[in-house]
Amino acid sequence: MRVDSKAGVLFEVCAALAAGDSRSAKATIRSRYPFKPVEKIARRYSERQSMKLFMRDGFIDRYTGNRLVNPGVLRLLHVVLGVDFPTHPNWKVSETHPAFWELFPTVDHFVPVSRGGSDDESNWVTASMLSNQAKDQWTVEHLGWELHPAGPVEEWDGLSRWLVDYLAANPTVLAEAAESHRRYIRTWLTATKAAIEGDDQPVEFRLSVQPVS
């Protein structure tokens, strides 16, 4: 057993306890594997802030390298496909299509704010809802993960251009949708258009519908 491993520290703690030396056990745990409280800090980002990041990263989950999909597209697919592509307002797993976990992009802090990371774009990365939940307050070093490079948005834009084009060609889809879905999709549509147009210069996209590997 490696003496520097965390399991090795607990081995020594248990050995000390077995010898009736609780003082040594406590000293070992305090010095070599101490408890450090980590406060979970919630953050909320606007759809425009989020979309800017997703476009920057090419709609790639930076922890897995997998392609992700515009949130507006995912909700629109639910509206169009119904029970074949279910979603739940509280993310109930038994009533939500796995795409909403595997392909839904979120803003994550590469270095958690609770561990000293900054809350700005330099520390933001795109991550799927699944990766974000799994990473939680841990670092990539804790989990043995790696940071994948951002993808070229010209090759994959999360079906963002498709969202704009489809709704322009099918305006009645939103008009006939439930108010909650209509409001949600329109919010992401507005953010998507702003990201595509860009604040300073237009961004050209090339839609790719090749299978995601």
- Note the pTM of the prediction, 2 decimals: 0.78
Nearest to 67 by CA among 134, 160, 141: 160
Tell whether 79 is covered by a domain.
yes
Nearest to 160 by CA among 49, 54, 82, 46: 54
Q: Are residues 13 and 54 in the same domain?
A: no
Q: Are residues 24 and 58 in the same domain?
A: no
Q: Are residues 57 and 90 in the same domain?
A: yes
Encode the chain (213 residues) as per-residue pLDDT tens digits. Answer: 444 588 999 999 999 999 999 999 999 999 999 887 766 666 678 999 999 999 999 999 999 999 999 999 999 999 999 999 999 988 888 999 999 999 999 999 999 988 888 888 999 999 999 999 999 889 999 999 999 999 999 999 999 999 999 999 999 999 999 999 999 999 999 999 999 987 434 333 333 333 332
**Amino acid 115: pLDDT:** 85
Buried b (16+ CB within 10 A) or exposed e, 73-97: bbbbbbbeeeeebebeeeeeeeebb
**Amino acid 207: pLDDT:** 34
Strand ranges (E), 31-92: none
Please give the residue range of the domain that contains residue 100: 47-197
Nearest to 111 by CA among 140, 154, 76, 149: 140
Q: Are residues 75 and 14 in the same domain?
A: no
Q: Are residues 87 and 141 in the same domain?
A: yes
Q: Are residues 99 and 135 in the same domain?
A: yes
Q: Are residues 130 and 187 in the same domain?
A: yes
Tell whether 203 is covered by a domain.
no
Q: Are residues 64 and 117 in the same domain?
A: yes
Cα distance between residue 213 and residue 209, in whole Å: 12
